[in-house]
Amino acid sequence: MRTYVAGADVGSTTAKVVILDGEGDIAGTSLGPTGASIVEAAQRRFQEAVKAAGIDEHEVEFVVGTGYGRFKIPFGHTQVTEISCHARGAHHLFPGTRTIVDIGGQDTKAISVNELGDVADFCMNDKCAAGTGRFLESAALTLGLPLEEIGPVSLRAARPLRITNVCTVFVESEIMSHMMKGETVEDILRGVHNAIAGRSISLLRRVGINPEISFTGGVSRNVGMVRALEDQLGLRVNVSPLSQFIGAIGAALFALERARGGKLVAAPVEGGT
């Protein structure tokens, strides 16, 4: 019988599950909104990922949970912090990674990693929505655009505006007043993306900006954000279509180590069901 393991990354906004086979190759993935019930979201994503892999739930030998909801994942055998999982996952997809910028729905992290993908240093903002996905969501809502359109629209800016407010709530009024003055949606949005990039880069500076830089988390799917980061850094950043799954991939890699009898870097907290 083949070995399968899973990583479940339950974030504040979306839940992600990745199934790996014994070779470390991806067998199945699933992603969906976390919603009000972490338990339900985790279970649904797990069932879907198992189905996508074409296997039975019982064939999954070991499950590692990560993300903000990691302690509530009923089928998780243990938990590993999202910092370690993002580092491991990014290293797996881009082995040259030395610095990770992870922008999620509710927090932003800067992580520096060594050549093995172990965390050397990190810092994060989880106290305030400034510089996170929430900030983008709020801007999209204020402008009446779907979230997935704001990145591409921002790329068409002719004369990017400077957004001066830090607070997500106040930026809503700032956007409204720019609209009143007849500024274009493109210029406003580019300003919004630049503001988040600026905040992320100040976090990155605290851990040191060493290439290669990998951009992970849900916001990495936004092309406007990729461009804003690259422009301000003056460097290319690694982005993968799997970027949103990097935390889950890292968790699954930890699960694989465990299934192979290796030791887990993070101490197990308590066994799940």
Q: Cβ 60 to another protein, closest distance in Å?
A: 27
Nearer to another protein, 12 or 243 (CB): 12
Strand locations in the chain (E): 4-10, 14-21, 26-33, 60-66, 78-79, 99-103, 108-113, 119-125, 213-216, 237-238
Q: Cβ 15 to another protein, closest distance in Å?
A: 14
Match 């949606």 to its residue by tokens: 185
Q: Cβ 263 to another protein, closest distance in Å?
A: 34
Query: Residue 207: what residue type?
Result: V
Nearer to another protein, 81 or 168 (CB): 168
Q: Interface residues with another protein (CB under 8 A)?
A: 12, 36-37, 106, 126-130, 134-135, 138, 165-170, 173, 176-177, 179-180
Nearer to another protein, 2 or 176 (CB): 176
213-216 and 119-125 as β-strands: parallel, antiparallel, unpaired? unpaired
- What are the b/e assignments for 221-248, b being 16+ CB within 10 Å? bbbbbbbbbbeebeeebbbbebbbbbbb
Nearer to another protein, 123 or 179 (CB): 179
Q: Cβ 129 to another protein, closest distance in Å?
A: 4
